[in-house]
A and B are shown apart, each in its own frame.
Chain A
Amino acid sequence: MSITTLKINGQDVVTESGKTVLAAAKEAGIPIPTLCHLEGISEAGACRLCAVEVKGTPKLMAACVTTVAEGMEVETHTPKLQDYRRMIVELFFAEGNHVCSICVANGNCELQDAAIEVGMDHSRFNYRFPDRGMDLSHSQFGIDHNRCILCTRCVRVCDEIEGAHVWDVGNRGEACYIVSGMDQPWGEVSACTACGKCVDACPTGAIFRKGTTTGEKAGDRAKLEFLVNARDKQEWSR
């Protein structure tokens, strides 16, 4: 195993070469906020919350898709980054319909966590109040597009882990939405094995198990990591 040494927030960090800055920071106990990242599936680099400053380049780099390099000097929490992160979270809240008090994920939501982390208490941007609809055609699960932040974690988990590729993204820009099957009701997609992985992968209350009510969606994200690594680690139970 070859190793790389770098500095994160002035702290010397030694990590396996080829890892991402995000992984290196996590090992070193430096938390970087993320939303589209999920341990065990490919990276999208879509939410941009994990952006960090790297000495020597004027560009901000998304930590989840930036590979560590020898001698790299990374700053993860400069005032500018915190400012920008807060603005991103505001944009998320303004873009969908997030009414936490009546949401299944209340208290267990990564968007909420991000908001708390960056100190967002209100949005400077006007709420868009989109009418995005929901799909309750599946016998066990439902999806409320109003709470979707388009992180595509469901898309990737279903494709890469379950191998069913039920989800994809339709349309573009603000009109983007998560489609099931060939843009059919979820319940009609025969590829869906009802494994529930997308429920666990979803950071918000957008995908949920039917019958859960306010604050009852307790995600089990470690389960996904366990599933992906089971074969590698020869661990079949946890």
Chain B
Amino acid sequence: MDLAELKALAVAEKAKFKPLRVHCCTSTGCQAAQSLEVKNNLAKAIQDKGLGDRAEVVGVGCMGFCGRGPLVQFAHDDQLFETVTPDQAEGIIDVLAGGEADLVKGDPEHPFFSRQFHIVRKNSGNINPDRIEDYIAVGGYQSLYKALFEMSPAEVVAEVTASGLRGRGGGGFPTGIKWATVAKMPEGQKYVICNGDEGDPGAFMDRSVLESDPHLVLEGMAIAAYAVGANHGYIYVRAEYPLAIQRLETAIKQAKRYGILGSQIFDSPFDFKIDIRIGAGAFVCGEETALIHSIEGKRGNPRPRPPYPAQDGLWHCPTLINNVETYGNISAIIEKGSAWFSGIGTEKSKGTKIFALTGKIRNNGLIEVPMGITLREIVEEMGGGVPDGEIKAVQTGGPSGGCIPAYLLDTPVDYDSLTKVGSMMGSGGMVVMDTGTSMVEVAQFYMDFCQEESCGKCVPCRAGTVQLHAMLTRLLKKQATLADLETMEQLCYMVKEMSLCGLGMTAPNPVLSTLQYFRSEYEELLQPLPTMPENHALSV
């Protein structure tokens, strides 16, 4: 296939779209709320009402407003229906045909949608993730073609470097520099890995991207492989994501059939195959060296770095490892150029970030926002604020991050600002807490998670998190003294500085940040000091 054929296919596929397309979300969140039945009923209603020649229902990926699912949307006029039940399908088709029905209508102009900026999620909720033709219809794989035929590998690396893209897996490492390091390694076997382990509690951005637009990630990986000189890639997904795995399998099969993955891609000399590896759902297996061990069939333990995977990775070969969302940005960067991309966001954080907005907030769901937007805009405008009560803090970065108090809500969302206030960007969890929330309990919750998920290899993390959890528990039972609190704080710093991998190094963050901003809550929980009996005067 060449570019002309690819474009012709895109046009032909687009022409097959019927004028009235009814999008029905078939991602995990909505599926759990019977969206597959909704979809079947919609299809049936279209037939029953004789609209079959101009209307069709399309199972699409996640639209983001998962808290109000199942969602159904008309592609032609953006009309949105929320919390749809299977028996409302007929009514929806009546509306499609110009009639009326009693339905819960969403507002597609609401800031929740209008403040978003879609790069990675541009196709999510708009195409059928089970059909490569749908992806091709919206211009898919043209960036890969462009990279292979119009750019040298070094030019691709330079473009990604110039874009300012930073890793979306948590650390925020400049993606271009990582690619350049792998590209510079001597020729030979190299690998590309996509990290889809996504273990943070409450985070589901990567799952949504994989379920809604698997080809976008495959395309990003293929471009990366071309740039760094790899011919084999792995996608590591946790077993708890069966739908994502299934859609990836379908996507890989379809791409192979079109000659877009496999040998001699687009009849060029470039070969690239992708295999899926399924993780057992350990948080630590998201850490890159542990993930590599896991793919190698070993115990998922991190190892000390350096050497970094870029030099010594999978089976000791140079390995590029990036997050799902990072790969999701590549196609757009190649298509529209680095200048376009670096025009979005702030000086040091370019592009967008997807967050899973949850907690005590009206509008739950996934949002893709430009970097530099403030927390206040996200929480108050897009999220609609706290249902009843007042906002107390926003937690970002999951078990590695921290709690940002309400008075710092004007902090812009970018890597450096979030780190500066004692939290971090993390992979994209954002939990809103109201004034009824006990910050010590929050810290205890995350510490419980970390002690469970520690791989157990290094002592500060294995035994330190256990002791921190025990101390927080004692504190909550009002059995801790001021000395205990001091020891706990020292232990936090020790675990942070002495642990082997990022899990231990960041595990104390939820405690440290709540101590920083909500210290009085800790002090109020201290064991009351024994008081002197009244008559204990020095009357001996």
Contact = CB atoms under 8 A, between A and B. Distances in A.
Central interface residue in A83, A125, A152, by most chain B CB within 10 Å: A125
B463 A84 contact: no
Interface string B441-465: 0000000000111111111101111
A168 interface: yes
Contact of A46 (B299, B454, B457): B457
Interface residues of B, number: 31
Contact of B456 (A43, A51, A65, A150): A150
A51 B491 CA distance: 16
A174 B451 contact: yes
Contacts of A223: none
Given A87-B490, A94-B467, A44 B460 contact: no
Interface string A30-56: 000000000000011111100100000
Contacts of A65: 304
B458 A172 contact: no
Contacts of A60: 497-498
A95 B463 contact: yes
A47 B459 contact: yes
A92 B463 contact: yes
Interface string A151-184: 0100000000000000011011111100000000
B512 to A, nearest CB: 16
A46 B467 contact: no
A231 B199 CA distance: 46
Central interface residue in A84, A172, A174, by most chain B CB within 10 Å: A172
A62 B304 contact: yes
A45 B487 CA distance: 25
B456 A48 contact: no
A238 interface: no
Contacts of A44: 457
Contacts of B490: 83, 87
A51 B500 CA distance: 10
Nearest to A60: B497
Contact of B498 (A84, A94, A172, A173): A84
B20 interface: no
A173 B459 contact: no
B217 interface: no
Contacts of B304: 43, 45, 62, 65
Contacts, number: 95
A173 B467 contact: no
Interface in B481-506: 487, 490-491, 494, 497-500
A168 to B, nearest CB: 7
A169 B459 contact: no
A173 B500 CA distance: 14
A233 interface: no
A46 B284 contact: no
Nearest to A175: B456
B460 A150 contact: no
Interface in A78-109: 83-84, 87-88, 91-92, 94-95
A26 interface: no
Contacts of B458: 45-48
Given A51-B498, A65-B304, A172 B455 contact: yes
Given A46-B500, A60-B498, A94-B467, A174 B456 contact: yes
Given A46-B457, A169-B456, A174 B498 contact: no
Contact of B460 (A48, A168, A176): A48
A172 B459 contact: no
Given A48-B498, A87-B490, A91-B467, A173 B457 contact: no
A172 B456 contact: yes
14 contacts: A46-B458, A46-B459, A46-B500, A51-B497, A62-B304, A84-B497, A88-B460, A125-B467, A125-B487, A128-B466, A169-B301, A172-B282, A173-B466, A174-B451
